Structure 1
Amino acid sequence: MTTATTTTTTPPSIYNVPNLLTTIRFFLAIGVVVLLAYQEYWSALVAFSVAAGTDWMDGYWARKYGQVTKLGRIFDPFVDKIIICGTFIALVAIDDSNVAPWMAIVIVARELLVTSLRGMIEGSGGDFSARWSGKWKMVLQCAAIILVLIGLGMRDAPAWILHATTLTLWSAVALTLYSGWEYILAATRMLRDGAKS
């Protein structure tokens, strides 16, 4: 006679390394905005580089060691948006940053739109995973911010840095717009297919 045993899997605790790393990145993002307000550009560059450069680490750790939590799935992308959107908004207030208000508006609007679409699609059971355009958009945005901060930190930045900053900044905005449009098309197809089924 055999007895069936049922095993229950305990969900991972929210008190884990990935969520700790995300929390550290959150405070670094706030620190970047504060440092920019006090014109501490080199310190802001270091804080931003650490925050942006370790973005992959918490997700990698969570997947490798089975520490993916609902809090982490919400908190991690939220912190990503604070890092990028907060820094761009702070740079708008600095005259020599070359970051125009409309650029920050485009970036913030895209993030709000995609977040809303993802919540709507995944809330109804669909898969609205990140696309490569979204990932490369993040890379270009980080590169643009780093170059802007380097230019602000140098008293007389070389012309090539200024040109590279302008090119990267405009490329980041263009890819932001393209990525947003791609997500809109994807969401429209999913909603249309869902309505037909």
Structure 2
Amino acid sequence: MEQENNNPMTTAPATATASPWNVPNLLTSIRLVLAIAVIALIAMHWYGWAFIAFVVAASTDWVDGFYARRYGQVTKLGRIFDPFVDKIVICGAFIALVEIAGSGIAAWMAIVVVARELLVTSLRGLIEGGGGDFSASQLGKWKMVLQCVAVGAVLLCLMQTEPADWLQWLRLGSIWGAVALTVYSGFDYVVAAARIMNTDQSAQ
């Protein structure tokens, strides 16, 4: 039997019926503007400002998620809008950096990142549209972290005429690590989706 929780500091239950006009969705909207700014700043070769905008955008992703769960402000709009903006932030940055000489990001890497996001989004829409749960896994979250590190390291290198050796190694390692984890997490999601769909078919 569950006991009543009187601690005001504990996480409030999330609800999909909360108003879409709330703090988490406002932060997500700001993150969308920042994502567009990052792409534009990279195109203009203003790497310092692009780095700042990217760091703020990546930080608000954690803040709005935490706030939504803690105060029960998870909405249907937020469940769609938040991951959509996440994809704009990462995919947009990778695509914008492809044409920058010395970024270390090749076109095929950006294609892998975009293709994985499209695949997972399609699977999530298929499963959750049928009433299933296809929330982000821990592997997917770590993939996002490594992708953010890779973009940040690339921008830091581009800001300097002669980046330090450790920074160049960080850029190289994080890029390849992000690509590898992107592929692996995509495969993991495909396996999970197949398992859910097989379970649903067996239950029918």
Do both proteins adopt the same fold according to a TM-score greater than 0.5, normalized to the shorter chain?
yes
Scaled to the shorter chain, the TM-score interval is over 0.9
Q: Deviations over 1:59-81 (max 9, x none)?
A: 21122222222111111111000
Of 180, 186, 202, which aligns to 1:180?
A: 186
Cα contact 2:16–2:74 (8 A) shared by 1: no
Q: Give the SS at the match of 1:96.
A: coil
Aligned equivalents of 1:132, 1:11: Cα separation in 2: 26
Aligned equivalents of 1:12, 1:134: Cα separation in 2: 26
Of 32, 43, 62, which aligns to 2:38?
A: 32
Cα contact 2:16–2:76 (8 A) shared by 1: no
Q: Would you say 1:15 and 2:52 are equivalent positions?
A: no
Q: Would you say 1:160 and 2:166 are equivalent positions?
A: yes
Aligned equivalents of 1:10, 1:130: Cα separation in 2: 17
Q: Deviations over 1:33-78 (max 9, x none)?
A: 0000100000000000000012111121122222222111111111
Counterpart of 1:95 in structure 2 is 101
Matching of residues 5-154 of structure 1 within 5 Å: 11-154=17-160
Structure 2: unaligned runs, 5 residues or longer: 1-14
Aligned equivalents of 1:54, 1:111: Cα separation in 2: 20
Percent identity, aligned pairs only? Answer: 60
Q: Give the SS at the match of 1:81.
A: helix
1:10 is displaced (CA, Å) by 11
Per the normalisation by structure 1, the TM-score is 0.92
Per the normalisation by structure 2, the TM-score is 0.89
Q: Give the SS at the match of 2:19.
A: coil
1:13 is displaced (CA, Å) by 2.2
Amino acid at match of 1:176: T
1:89 is displaced (CA, Å) by 0.3
Aligned equivalents of 2:29, 2:62: Cα separation in 1: 14
Amino acid at match of 1:103: M
Counterpart of 1:189 in structure 2 is 195
Q: Give the SS at the match of 2:48.
A: helix
Q: Give the SS at the match of 2:102.
A: helix
Amino acid at match of 1:179: S
Work out the number of aligned pairs and report it: 189
Work out which of the two has the higher radius of gyration on C-alpha atoms and give 1 or 2: 1
Q: Deviations over 1:116-146 (max 9, x none)?
A: 0011111112111211110110010000000
Amino acid at match of 1:170: W
Aligned equivalents of 1:10, 1:184: Cα separation in 2: 26
